[in-house]
Amino acid sequence: MLQENINNENNKTLKTKIFRYKYFIFILRLIIGVIFIYASFGKIIAPNDFAIAIKNYDMLPYSLINIPAIIIPYLEFFAGIFLIFGKFKIGSSFLIGLMLIFFLIGLIQAYARGLDINCGCFSLDNPNSSSDILLRIFEDILMLIAIILIFLYSYKEKLLAQKNG
Amino acid sequence: MKAILKESLIVIIIAIIFAFFGNILNPKGISLFPDETRYKIDSTNNNIDYSKVWNDPYDTVNNKVAVLSGGEMTKEGYIKPQNINLTQAKTLFDINGLFIDGRKKEEFEKGHIKGAINIPYEEFMKLTVDQRKEMMRKYNKNGVIVCYCDGGGCDVSVDLGYELAKIGFNSVNIYLGGYSEWKSKGYPVEEK
């Protein structure tokens, strides 16, 4: 009887824990999703400005800058949408994680080389661009941590679902 | 692992399909591959004799053709700016071409090509097209314009030059060597 009670208690705490996590992860998904959708708008409307921002990072040959300038904004948009609505959570969080890692590499190398650039992160016409690279690196790392949590949670959730059903 | 690949691929394919059609439908859409000649010296413009050119950048009454830029008409309907070298830039300087410095105000104030005006590219891009046109109304649409920036790796001269061409300037030249090359040759500058 006592043992049963303890088991029940354990189950309850486990459930509330998962329950709590669920909401925490949902809020994270909402935040990251909204940020990515918001960040994609300016770039979708003006791909040329984004192409110039990519060129200024000096990481790609000039002939190849337009393709990511066309595709990345839409990838941000759809990954954000799917993340919010909970469809393809694993894929979209994985892709957002990859993008954040690429952005981080770009930002860090630009900062290290002292490139005076517009980061191309959100608004494409920020004149005081070079000074806020450190802030962007910090934001990128925060988002990366959040998206890793989302990814791991979604992946585990999927594994659990597969086991149970 | 399979789930990661599968879901990622689905999201990527959806994004690519929308990106492709979105870019076609977008009036500001871009071509898949950029114009390679944009940031290089154009070897075909060497046959233009810049020395026989008359020019008045402020003649907005007659808008006389000072020089045929030699650049071809682009699909978008503007005359493509020409990338020029130091000698050509000096010739255009001597015939009173309008030199436009695309760098930030602070950099311009430290030192610039003599007689140049400052249009910081980033500030310029914040204006609407109409505001840009209004701002440039006092200059001859057919006058010789030479855009420049630091030289070396800077691109604002090129980007600014294309924006000026888009609002109707027909003889935009871009001096890629920029301020650093100009100054190193001892050509006229104004310094603080």
Residue of chain A with shortest Cα separation from B16: A71
B74-105 confidence digits (pLDDT tens)? 777 888 888 888 888 888 888 888 999 999 89
| Per-residue DSSP letter, B77 | S
Amino acid at A121: C
Residues of chain A with pLDDT under 50: 126-129
Which residues, in sequence order, are CB contacts of B135 under 8 Å at separation 6+? B119, B124, B127
- On whether any CB of chain B is under 8 Å from the CB of A154, the answer is no
Which pLDDT value is given to residue A131?
54
List the one residue out of A44, A62, A40, A39 whose CA is nearest residue A52. Answer: A62
Give this complex's ipTM.
0.82
Residues of chain B with pLDDT under 70: 41-71, 152-153
| Cα B118 to Cα A34: distance, rounded to the nearest angstrom | 38
Which pLDDT value is given to residue A42?
87
The answer to whether A45 contacts B26, with C-beta atoms less than 8 Å apart, is: yes
Which pLDDT value is given to residue A130?
53
- On whether any CB of chain B is under 8 Å from the CB of A73, the answer is yes
B12-30 confidence digits (pLDDT tens)? 999 999 999 999 998 888 8
For the whole prediction, is pTM greater than 0.95?
A: no
Residue of chain B with shortest Cα separation from A75: B15
Q: Where are the beta strands (DSSP E) in B19-68?
A: none
| Cα A133 to Cα A121: distance, rounded to the nearest angstrom | 10
| Cα A42 to Cα A69: distance, rounded to the nearest angstrom | 12
What CATH number should be reported for the domain whose range is B34-191? 3.40.250.10
Residue of chain A with shortest Cα separation from B122: A127
Which residue's entry shows tokens 């892709």?
A95
Q: What is the residue extent of each domain of chain B?
A: 1-30, 34-191
